[in-house]
Structure 1
Amino acid sequence: MTNRRNFLKTAALASAAVALQSFEGKPEEENDLSFVKGIKPIVLSTWNFGLKANVAAWAILKNKGRALDAVEAGVKIPEGDASERSVGYGGRPDREGRVTLDACIMDENANIGSVGCLEFIKHPISVARAVMEKTPHVMLVGDGALQFALSQGFVKENLLVEESEKEWKEWLKTSQYKPIANIENHDTIGMIALDAAGNLSGACTTSGMAFKMQGRLGDSPIIGAGLYVDNEIGAATATGHGEEVIRISGCHLVVELMRQGKSPQKACEEAVARIVNLTKKRNRNVKDIQVGFIALNKKGEFGSYCIQGGFNYAVHDATGNRLIDAEYFMH
């Protein structure tokens, strides 16, 4: 028995030594054995602009900050970047030339906030959080959302940048509306995170499909479609053609599949399969649509799946920040 105890103690010390050695050269705040497990904190976000967004989120997570604060700070990076043409400031307008933004946010306690068709406010995610924390409602849209934002001190700004305006005027010559898969006219940043305390939160924000009909909402501001968080199970967010995600309540489905014991990867795969099957039943061409899901469970395991190649997502944990090409259905 004594030999066995000594063996276990030696093995544990050796494992800790290896773990500590792997952290040599890292900032002092990251030299913490809570990071050795590689489980938490961790943050995932959609598309390549997720890399920059993850950096902002990780600055909060690595200091044991709350996942809710991390996801808000993270998605605000592409929201405020005029060169990102599918999120926030710089987003492409609707067919009337109006930039309308959608966003939602959800914390570990199932508190939720959402805005839709919001104009003139650069950071709709922060307005969505204000809806969550300062109103009895969960969603505000259109002029009501704008008036609420202004009452909370948000600044009214022109969001239609020169390049987006030029594209809109060019589009008016033909007014052809046929979104193309993986062309950034319908992309979203969705972000989900697990913090050091083991709590999950998520955020999702977009300017929606370029040249959409005035008043159109996609999945991004809809809790259960573009984003869902269950702190007992996991979190998921989506990107792509929002109408198809709404059709299956996509992110709620992914989380429920994880509740049934599926891995984040398998849950994303089944959700995509349902969209594909429904698309075929409706006699629509699957090649015309793209939907991608990312998912994260309570253990820190993650996965992603999409209809066709071209979707990628960013992951940041104690090992670093990297971009991953998602597996896909169509080959």
Structure 2
Amino acid sequence: MKRRNFIKKASATGLGLVAISSTLISCDSDSKSSEKKVVPSILESIRPLVIATWKTDLAVETAAAVLEKGGSALDAVEQGCRIEEANEQGQSVGKGGLPDRDGNVTLDACIMDSKGNYGAVLGVKNIKHVISVARKVMEDTPHVMLVAEGAEQFAVSKGFEREDLLTEASKKAWEKWKETSEYKPIINIENHDTIGMLAIDKDGNISGACTTSGLAYKMAGRVGDSPIIGGGLFVDNEIGGASATGLGEEVLKTVGSFLIVELMRQGKSPQEACEEAIGRIVNKPGKDFKDFQVGYIAVNKQGKTGAYSIHEWFSYNIYKDKENKNIKSDYFNKA
């Protein structure tokens, strides 16, 4: 995305991120005003709260409503992610997601609670709300991960209904892609591809969730970072949580979300931890990071948040070199 166009969008929303527009809604039950306040990420400590990748306003508002009513962080992130899974226009999460190169929509998701419990499903067909299936895996089985047909069968046994996930719009996009493709997965740096969500409830407990349809036109069977603990999501209730968006292969190579939480354990702020995690990717020898996206969001136990992306890193370094100034680029509206 061209820098100027993104800045216009960022200014309009009060957000300051490239590749991930992280929305934070404060749910301050002690406030005299009952009105929700949408504020930029990377602010002072706020609890309870919910943050998510991309500009998924309705999903965040839904999660925030759960927290406002005294609900748990776990319930909040599940309900928030379900909104995007039902959003057929999104074409990157749930029903309507872009298919693999063979035309099949397969979904991945994971969820993690404040006690360190984890559940995930990978490569699931025909089931829309895979984030809820992942929670069932976590709560109703002795396992942490189910895949493909086994995950689908488990979902049906728990009352989830099978449905065709390939919408007409996504089918047309896939057919157009086939006309000129060489059957290689496409990495589109402008395409939203995942929702990762983190929440802290009124009791100070942290939970997280991540759900996706994966890389558009991927090879059949491909799974990225989103359902993998420590990759697309990691939560340690004593420290904080992190979630990723973007090219899963690169997130997995550095176990990005786990890395961020461990950096916070060492004393780094969520923002510093996100920036270092991105640095671990872009500083690898021979890495052509301009051709793909990765972004992180994070929150610590105190309710401080952070977010950073490869394209923010790239913009900062390019403009720092041009202007010879040790400043952040103006993608950030940082308090």
Give the TM-score taking structure 1 as reference length: 0.81
Whether contact under 8 Å (1:305, 1:326) holds in the other structure is: no
Other-structure match for 2:58? 52
Other-structure match for 1:183? 190
Out of 272, 292, 309, the residue aligned to residue 295 of structure 2 is 292
CA RMSD of aligned residues (A): 2.2
Shift of 1:39: 2.2
Q: Letter of the 2:265 partner, please give it.
A: R
Tell me: CA distance 1:211–1:153, structure 2 relative to 1, closer, same or farther (3 Å).
same
- The gaps in structure 1 that reach 5 residues or longer are 1-19, 31-36, 311-324
Structural mapping, 1:14-53, within 5 Å: 23-26=31-34, 39-49=46-56, 51-53=57-59
Where has structure 1 moved over 6 Å in runs of 4 or more? Answer: none
SS of 2:180's partner is: coil
Alignment of 1:200 onto 2:206 = yes
Whether contact under 8 Å (2:189, 2:291) holds in the other structure is: no
Other-structure match for 2:255? 249
Whole-Å separation in 2 of the counterparts to 1:250 and 1:284: 16
Deviations for 1:234-259, whole angstroms, at most 9, x for unmatched residues? 00000000000000000000000000
Q: Letter of the 2:34 partner, please give it.
A: K
Alignment of 1:305 onto 2:305 = no
Whole-Å separation in 2 of the counterparts to 1:209 and 1:114: 18
Alignment of 1:152 onto 2:152 = no
Other-structure match for 2:23? none
Tell me: CA distance 1:179–1:42, structure 2 relative to 1, closer, same or farther (3 Å).
same
Alignment of 1:130 onto 2:115 = no
Give the TM-score taking structure 2 as reference length: 0.80
- The gaps in structure 2 that reach 5 residues or longer are 1-27, 38-43, 314-329
Shift of 1:24: 4.4
Structural mapping, 1:207-218, within 5 Å: 207-218=213-224
**Who wins on radius of gyration, i.e. which is larger?**
1
Whole-Å separation in 2 of the counterparts to 1:26 and 1:159: 38
Tell me: CA distance 1:44–1:179, structure 2 relative to 1, closer, same or farther (3 Å).
same
Whether contact under 8 Å (2:47, 2:204) holds in the other structure is: yes
Shift of 1:295: 0.3
Structural mapping, 1:57-76, within 5 Å: 57-76=63-82
Whole-Å separation in 2 of the counterparts to 1:112 and 1:78: 21
Tell me: CA distance 1:55–1:86, structure 2 relative to 1, closer, same or farther (3 Å).
same
Whole-Å separation in 1 of the counterparts to 2:111 and 2:309: 22
Out of 143, 148, 154, the residue aligned to residue 142 of structure 1 is 148
